[in-house]
Amino acid sequence: MKRSIRYRFTLIFIGLTALILIITWGLNTLWLKSFYMLEKVRVLEEAYDQLDTVVMEKWEAGESISDEFQSYSTDDEEPGAVVLRNLYEKSNVTVAIIDSFTGEGIFSSARDKAFMEDRVRSYIFGRNMRDLEVLKKYDNYTIQLTYDQRSKSNYMENWGYFSDNRTIFIMSMPLASITESVWLSNKFLAYVGILTLICGSIIMYFTTKRVVSPILKLANLSERMCELDFEAKYTGEAQDEIGILGHSMNTLSNKLKETIGELKSANNELQADIEQKIRIDEMRKDFIANVSHELKTPIALIQGYAEGLTEGMGEDPESRDYYCEVIMDEANKMNKMVKQLLTLTALEFGNDTPVFERFDLTDLIQGILSSADILIQQREAQVEFENPGPIYVWADEFKIEEVITNYLNNALNHLDGERRIEIRAEQEGDLVRITVFNTGNQIPEEDIPNLWTKFYKVDKARTREYGGSGIGLSIVKAIMDAHHQECGVRNREDGVEFWFTLDCGER
């Protein structure tokens, strides 16, 4: 079962207080009586010393001590009378003094003067020595405990001679029942202790809140830190150990926040590196598989026609020329495919980044059409391009030329029907949208998402016929991604339209 620090502090206080009370009660029971008796003996010893000094001063001066003690009841008290008054008022000690030479009483502070004088005489002559216990015995006086049958009380008495060996004295001090006194003392101590224990426990329980509250805050702070909530901070102003701990936890929180942030950044970089490595491995596998597949046919043709030439199948010049043309055509296709693969690989791995410059897109399109004029005529195509005037864009002119050329070649290779090609360049805000449309068969909708994948061919037979490798559109996609622009394709009612965008905004 969980116990709070506040609860533990209260229990510790109760335990310590109870232990102190028990020890005090035991000490009272064992030694209070002895202490009480020793204190009373000390009082009588000091009283004897003080009175003996007064008596000896008078004796050495040759004066009578009677006048010294008789001033007890006057306003002008002598030193001896002051001692007697203090003994009576402070310690309840009654004194009787007798001149042993004359037998007359010199002084008595007791109500029954004769009783006191007879009592000391009986002690001097060795009578009435029962019911007493000698506590201390000196040369001139004896301190003893006695029991008075008449008053049924205990007394402590000091009797004997002063140093002049003439003056007899007796001092009597009534004693309460020491056992009863110890019991009363312990009873009072118990009441006071219980009250102190209850009040102290209540005060302790509520005052420990001031100590426990910041500790609870630190505990809550540590729980939030365990949940990686490093925005939680200790806000106490105390400069004690708890305050130091709180500020240390704040420092630890900041350090952990920075360290975990650095670890996350490093982890993200590592994850990106791993994903890049996986992607590169997959691309390498795809590259090898696709290249092997694409090269298999031209290599087989080259090998077959070369073997035919070797075995003399092409003895006439016309057959040899045909075989050689096939070999050269397949070699050119292989060469073209390898160049395209190298270009695509450089783009995908970021080794061929675009060099942005500002140029006129309209001039670029017209230049491409002029270069492809012979090819357009061979394909009997009708190319429509409305000159919109100068359109300046920001891009890599060489790569955009390659994109438009790929779109135009793709349109020429799939031309059908009216054999019409439309090229448009329309400005839309800060972007220019370039479209290349050709009449012909539409692309199946399920094949459109795969057009940009390397070596993907919708009509493999037709692609093989014009020498396509399925890489051209992948190069277009890579170039547009490098420019952070978009490209796409859509079917129209009588053909297919490819498009891409370029930035024409001011910089």
Angle, CA of 349, 352 and 356, to the nearest 5°: 130
Amino acid at 113: K
5-183 to CATH, choices 3.30.450, 2.60.40, 1.10.20, 3.30.70:
3.30.450
Amino acid of residue 30 = L
State which amino acid sits at residue 490: R
CB 85 within 8 A of CB 77: yes
3-class secondary structure, 453:
coil
pLDDT at 33: 78
Q: Look up residue 465 and give its two tokens.
A: 């016929």
Whether this model's pTM surpasses 0.75: no
Q: How far, in Å, are 29, 94, 95, 174, 330 from residue 91 at the CA level?
A: 23, 9, 12, 9, 139
What order do you get walking across the sheet with 141-148 strand by strand?
105-108, 94-99, 167-175, 153-161, 141-148, 132-137
Quick one: pLDDT at residue 16?
83
**CA 172/CA 263 separation, integer angstroms:** 93
How many residues does the structure list for the chain?
507
Q: Which two tokens stand for residue 411?
A: 């349109």
How confident is the model at residue 433, as a pLDDT? 93
| pLDDT confidence of residue 467 | 47
**Cα 440 from Cα 497, distance rounded (Å):** 10
pLDDT digits (tens, 9 = 90+) for 447-492: 888 888 776 666 544 444 544 556 778 888 888 888 889 999 999 8
Residue 493: per-residue pLDDT: 87
Options 3.40.50.300, 3.40.190.10, 3.30.565.10, 2.30.38.10; CATH for 353-503 is: 3.30.565.10
Which among 312, 506, 314 is positioned nearest to 394, based on CA atoms?
Answer: 506
**C-alpha span between 294 and 72 (Å, rounded):** 143
Q: How far apart are CA 84 and CA 95, in angstroms?
A: 7
Question: Tens digits of per-residue pLDDT, 248-292?
Answer: 777 877 787 788 778 888 888 888 888 878 877 776 676 666 666
Q: 497 phi and psi, to 5 degrees?
A: -125, 125
What ranges do the domains of the chain cover? Answer: 5-183, 229-352, 353-503
- Is the pLDDT reported for residue 238 higher than 80? no
What is the rounded (10 degree) CA torsion for 280, 286, 292, 295? -90
Fold of 229-352: Helix Hairpins (1.10.287)
d(CA 165, CA 182): 40
Rounded Cα gap, residues 475 and 410, in angstroms: 13
Residue ranges of the alpha helices (H) in 227-316?
Answer: 241-310
Q: Taking the CB of residue 490, how many other CB atoms lie within 10 A of it?
A: 13
Measure Cα distances from 122 to 93, 225, 358 in Å: 20, 92, 143
pLDDT of 100 over the 80 cut: yes
How large is the average pLDDT for residues 156-179?
Answer: 85
Q: What is the pLDDT of residues 403-458, one digit of tens each?
A: 898 899 889 888 888 899 999 999 888 899 999 999 988 888 888 888 887 766 66
Q: What are the residues facing 169 on neighbouring strands?
A: 97, 160
Triad 154, 159, 160: Cα angle to 5°: 165
Q: Is the dihedral of CA 74, 47, 158, 62 positive or negative?
A: negative
CA 267, CA 4: separation in Å to the nearest integer?
41
With a pLDDT cut of 90, the percent of the chain lying above it is 15
The lowest-confidence range among 349-353, 371-375, 386-390, 481-485 is 349-353
